[in-house]
Structure 1
Amino acid sequence: MANKQLDEMSFLDHLEVLRWHLVRATISIAIAATLAFIFKRFIFDVIIFGPTHMTFPTYEGLCKMSQFLGMSDTTFCAQEFPFIIQNRTVAGQFSAHIWTSIYAGFIISFPYVLYQLWSFISPGLKASERKNSRGFIIIASLLFFIGVLFGYYIVTPLSLNFLANYQISDQILNEFDISDVIALVRTSSIASGFVFELPIIVYFLTKVGLVTPQFLKKYRKFALVIVLILSAIITPPDIASQVIVAIPILLLYQVSIYISAVVVRNQTRKTTRENKKSTNKS
């Protein structure tokens, strides 16, 4: 019934429905951004600037690991970072407050934004397809938040530690602009969040026939190169950081192959059952 009503809707009707879904998603982001704006001390002092202190859990863990391996001369065990954070523009802090609140609002409200997107797409799917896609919002949101945490606790500290301790001359003092520090945390976290959506993307590409497990296996070597390039983009140019970031992405790629194989197997079984029913009827 829903599909029939959907077929009777004009293009402008679809745009109107999409507009209201976007409005509701935007309102949810605005509400979450307002909360983030109010709790600015927690957002900035604890979250944004957390990785700029050597008491951050990642540095403590890497320091203990380095000491266990007998690496005494490591920057992970320093008392503090050799840099200060500064603001060089009149409206710099206010702009940082506004935009950071918006990005935080997007991350917080991501499940609801995804729900609005799914509410617009799902009426166009068959009942069986909607049934097989149960749990999509929960799984996609969970993968996104795991990716954000990975970017925040792994990518950001590794990048910041490398860049803060990199020197071309002892005469140069590191005085990082507030916008650059925030951009590093934001890009690492949100980019990792979207990268971790790979299994979901592969699932839907397999459903529509654009991807097969054989295709993913055939181009695994090319995927490895792409993963290493991606790791080099979102991490500092040292091998250890790139390997740490590349490992979970490669695991996600392997999981995506398995998911694609499951989807193809289920589709094959469904086609076989339908063919048997057709044969019995005839």
Structure 2
Amino acid sequence: MSDDQKQLNAPPTQEETFFTHLVELRDRIIKASAAVLIVFVSMVYWAPDIFHLLAKPMLDVLPKGAHMIVTDVTGSFFVPIKVTLMAAFVVALPIVTYQIWAFIAPGLYQHEKKLILPLVVSTYTLFLIGMSFAYFLVFPTVFSFMVSYNAPLGADMSTDIDKYLSFAMTTFLAFGFTFEVPVVVVVLVRMGLVPLAKLKEIRPYVIVGAFVISAVVTPPDIMSQLLLAIPLCVLYEFGLLIARFYVPKQEDAVS
């Protein structure tokens, strides 16, 4: 065999493997970004309507004569654009999630690769449920509480649209990721990273952590904190229940 043939048949070096992964990561990011951009361009014409839909829970509870305001010169243009970009990301999230899992897949075993499609579907579904929970239940509850709290003070409630967007995005992300808890539990168990028995054992710490997280990421009222902490605890229990069907065979043998 010639030296050239030996060089061609030689296994890739660590440096070559690293750069191969970098190239693939770049391609995955480009594909995910392109998906978001395409959806954004197709939706941007309706940006004011999309913002109005986002602001509806607040507008519905504002006192008569009250309204949202703009305190920044460019706010009336950029805030609806930001909202539309967020909506485009949510619509394109299945493609983004798939690109993430597809990048991870080569390092997984064959039985683990079979989980990719169910994980993509469940991740997207649960994220949408979390955002819907925030929009239809948390927003009206929190806004009604704040309006009723403002009334005795005699203060006018005029919310800046940029600050409202910041609050809405933070809340959406908090509840969206909170509703991913069952997926996280199943992945930890299925990958053998944490035994199911250990996850059951740390249940009290998870409950305490749920209330700590809710106190950090939600407004400082007990209602919104409970609306995040309680679903997080329930979803953790649901994750433990589902994870029973995904326990690795080695753990089955031990138990």
| TM-score under structure 2 length normalisation | 0.83
Q: Which residue of 1 aligns with 2:30?
A: 23
2:199 match: 216
Residue 58 of structure 2, aligned match among 52, 63, 71 = 52
Q: Which residue of 1 aligns with 2:159?
A: 176
SS in 2 for 1:88: coil
Given the alignment, which residue of 36, 46, 64 partners 2:43?
A: 36
Deviation of 1:252 (Å): 0.6
Shift of 1:79: 8.1
Q: How many residues are paired up?
A: 243
How far the C-alpha of 1:181 sits from its partner, in A, is 1.3
Gap regions ≥5 residues in structure 1: 55-77, 273-282
The corresponding residue for 1:13 is 20
Percent of aligned pairs with the same amino acid? 30
Q: Deviations over 1:95-139 (max 9, x none)?
A: 212222221111111111001111111122121221244422111
* Distance in 2 (alpha carbons) for counterparts of 1:96 and 1:262: 45
Q: Secondary structure at the match of 1:175?
A: coil
**Offset at residue 230 of structure 1 (A):** 2.5
CA deviations 1:31-50 (Å, max 9, x no partner) are 122233211232022x2111
Q: Which moved more, 1:161-170 or 1:27-36?
A: 161-170
Question: What is the SS of the residue equivalent to 2:159?
Answer: strand
Question: Which residue identity lines up with residue 75 of structure 2 in the other structure?
Answer: G
Query: 2:158 aligns to what SS in structure 1?
Result: strand
Q: 1:185 aligns with which of 146, 163, 168?
A: 168
Contact 1:159 1:235 in 2 (8 A): no
Q: Against the structure 1 CA distance between its residues 185 and 231, is the aligned structure 2 distance closer, same or farther, given a 3 Å change threshold?
A: same
Matched, 1:114 2:114: no
- Specify the alignment match of 2:231 in structure 1: 248
List aligned pairs for 1:230-269, cutoff 5 A: 230-264=213-247, 266-269=249-252
> Among 142, 147, 154, which residue is 1:164 paired with?
147
Please identify, of 168-177 and 222-231, the stretch whose mean Cα deviation from structure 2 is larger. 168-177
The change in CA–CA distance for 1:19 and 1:237 in structure 2 (over 3 A counts) is same
Partner of 1:104: 87
| Separation in structure 1 between the aligned mates of residue 158 and residue 16 of structure 2, nearest angstrom | 58
Q: Deviations over 1:195-243 (max 9, x none)?
A: 1111111222223333222222222112111112223334444434433
Amino acid aligned to 2:51? F
| SS of equivalent to 2:67 | strand
Measure the CA separation in 2 of the matches of 1:79 and 1:160: 8
Structure 2 counterpart SS, 1:154 = helix
Shift of 1:8: 10
Distance 2:35 2:242 in 1: 31
| Superposition CA RMSD, Å | 2.7
- Within 1, Cα distance between the matches of 2:89 and 2:131? 12
- Residue of 117, 134, 147 corresponding to 1:151: 134
Distance 1:199 1:244 in 2: 17
CA change 1:135–1:9 in 2 (3 A) is: farther
Cα distance in 2, alignment partners of residues 206 and 157 from structure 1: 37
Opposite residue 55 of structure 2, the aligned amino acid is: F
User: 1:79/1:181 Cα in 2 relative to 1: closer, same or farther (>3 Å)?
Assistant: closer
Equivalent residue for 2:179? 196
